[in-house]
Amino acid sequence: MLAPVDNPMLGPWTAPYGLPPFDRIRPEHFPPAFDVSMRAHRDAVASIAGDRSPPTFDNTVAALDRAGRAQARLEHVFHTLTSSATSPELEAVEREIAPRLAAHRQAILTDAGVYARLDELHSRRDALGLDAGSRMLVERFHLDFTLAGAKLDETSRRRVAAIVERLAALNTAFRQNVRHDEETRGLLLRDEAQLAGLPAELRASAREAAIDRGEPDAWFVTMSRSAVVPFLSHADRRDLRERAFRMWTSRGEHGGEHDNRPVAREILSLRRELARLHGHRTYGDYALGDRMARTPGAVAGLLERVWRPAREKALAERDALADHARKLGATHPIEPWDWRYYAEKVRHERYAYDEDEVRPYFPLERMSEAMFDCAGRLFGLAFVPRAGLPVWHPDVRAYEVRRGGRVVGLFMADNFLRQGKRSGAWMSYLREQSNSDGEVLPVILNNNNFVEAPAGEPTLLSADDVRTLFHEFGHGLHGLLSNTAWERLSGTNVLQDFVELPSQLYERWAFEPSVLAKHARHARTGEPIPAALVERMNAARRFNQGFETVEYVASALVDMALHSAEGGDVDIGTFEQNELARIGMPGEIVMRHRLPHFEHVFAGSWYAAGYYVYLWAEVLEADGWDAFVEAGDVFDRATAGRLERYVYSAGGTLAPDAAYRAFRGRDPVVEPMLADRGLVATPGR
């Protein structure tokens, strides 16, 4: 084993905010570091279990929360690097470590001695005289242990532990297979005529991507959504659109060692077994026991209510696209690789709106300033650049977050697409907030995959990119504004169908006319975005909502159907095809995430039987936004104060339904969400 002097993960982290020495960390440092941290965690938990004094909140529940903090921080560093700066060497370590970490967590959460103490405290929690947050911590840990199988007999516990360990290996393999396809496949173009229709910014980024791959005289379209979607929206060459689309939507199903189909098959089989061991009919029943929705039936009710009008709207949109294509001389039917291309044409015709007209007004730097400014106006936060801190890649920018002259956290932004970084956008931690043993400030990370402009040029964002930027920052604020005693309840440690409320709600401020008037300025001229262009952009926002809703809801419906199946060996390709036929999926649209690369569902358990949560949270978000509309000011301080107190800062100390009622004054209604998607007509909206 490496001595602490040789292993920076084992020595003290002396940088500000407890940041690790990223410049010194190598893949081989992690296994011995985890050996030490897991042993220390096990010893701390064994001490709790072996305590001969009667169980109390302090010697059992609070001690359990403290016991896991050092282990969690090491895991945060590891997952930051495996997600944002990986390598073949680190991926090999990940394949080794992921099952061990899963086995370690399972052992902690099924410790019989600790569970016996928790169970006793839980049974008399009403008599303990605890504040709301401490009582919730008792309930949360008790549920964590129960869901892990602490109540099961020894034989069942051993089988659950084996399943959990195997699933961790399979989840890692699934994620790495998707990354392999994204990094090794793409559209290489050698003739400038193949670029017809592409805006200058997209051409430039494709050139840079080709240079990065040793092709200085070519252009390369990567399989990142931020690169493929613009290509599909603008490329005049239909054959190239089809090639790109097929390549993009077939990630994870190319056969050989990186084929995700057998991986997914085994994951589903193990999840069904896991659910049965816990006494549930299906995995969906098991997973939804710890969510706001509670039952697959409640999820199905929401999805079906949206699916029918969305499908009708999408079919009408398809007919409009076909009409426009015929006007342009096309004789072919609309295929999935045509939809985005003709949608842009129709959008421009109907609304005089062109995404390329808007992009110059959305340089990344200004849009970042906009999201910081909104946080200042709503919550009194200031974001001050902080240089010289250890980071995992030169792209990363760090900001001290201050309020009233006091530092409340550190925010780190890693915005650009690159090799070694997984696709998508996400928020994560390096350190979670708590204040039970003195103030521990949060260190929050936002990762995006925007296509960086060539050196010296501003990176211009699409409207969808701006929405993503604000969305992930909403998650970041959820972590930064956290004000809880206990790490297990801080920040985003809430039920999954509530966690998307802060992020989706924050998207609203991105396109407020007053925000755009202040921050959306032309990258070259500095002129503010014209009010008429903002009006056209907002008017065009509901166009193509049938398509957007169908591709998302189809993914959620297939996810729930997949995890509601009671048995049998599942071929995900056949299942996907049959389920889409059953719900009447338009042939011109594919799922937003096809099953062989559906990382939300198969790269971990967080969104398994849970992809619906974005729509569930959208109901809360649309209704919650109306609170600001009703106040007459989207920056109304009283409304923002309630939002912070009951949503952004409360973490898991309040039950989600109670937290929402405290903010809004009532339960949510679904109509604002349906109206926002253009699925119902609502006067005045």
> What amino acid positions are annotated as catalytic residues?
472
Q: 450: which strand partners?
A: 416
Name the nearest CA neighbour of 102 among 34, 152, 194.
34
Owner of token pair 């929206």: 233
Reduce the DSSP state of residue 181 to 3 states and report it. helix
Measure the CA dihedral 501/504/505/511, to 10°.
Answer: 180
CB 626 within 8 A of CB 672: yes
Q: How many CB atoms lie within 10 A of CB 120?
A: 13
Question: Distance between CA atoms of 14 and 149, rounded to whole angstroms?
Answer: 39
Residues in the chain: 685
| 3-state DSSP assignment of residue 398 | strand
Nearest Cα to Cα of residue 659 among 647, 674, 673: 647
CB 588 within 8 A of CB 474: no
> If 0-12 CB within 10 Å is exposed, 13-18 middle and 19+ buried, where does residue 391 land?
middle
Write the Ramachandran bin of 4: left for phi over 0, alpha for psi from -120 to 50, otherwise beta.
alpha
**DSSP category for residue 647:** I
* Separation of alpha carbons 586 and 592, rounded Å: 13
**Residue type at 241 in one-letter notation:** R
Of the candidates 433, 498, 484, which has an alpha carbon nearest to the alpha carbon of residue 133? 484
The secondary structure element, H or E, covering residue 186 is: strand 186-189
How far CA 591 is from CA of 254, 334, 423, 555, 600, in Å, comes to: 18, 16, 17, 5, 13
Positive or negative, the CA dihedral 537, 543, 546, 551 is negative
176 to each of 83, 90, 108, 418, how far by Cα in Å?
10, 11, 27, 15
- The tokens for 311 are 């499908």
Take residue 192 and report the two structure tokens written for it: 């400038």
DSSP state of 528: B
Tokens of 646: 């009951």
Beta strand extents in 28-176 (DSSP E only):
none
Contact yes or no for 128/121 (Cβ under 8 A): yes
Alpha-helical regions (H) of 511-653: 513-519, 531-540, 545-562, 572-583, 599-602, 613-631, 637-643
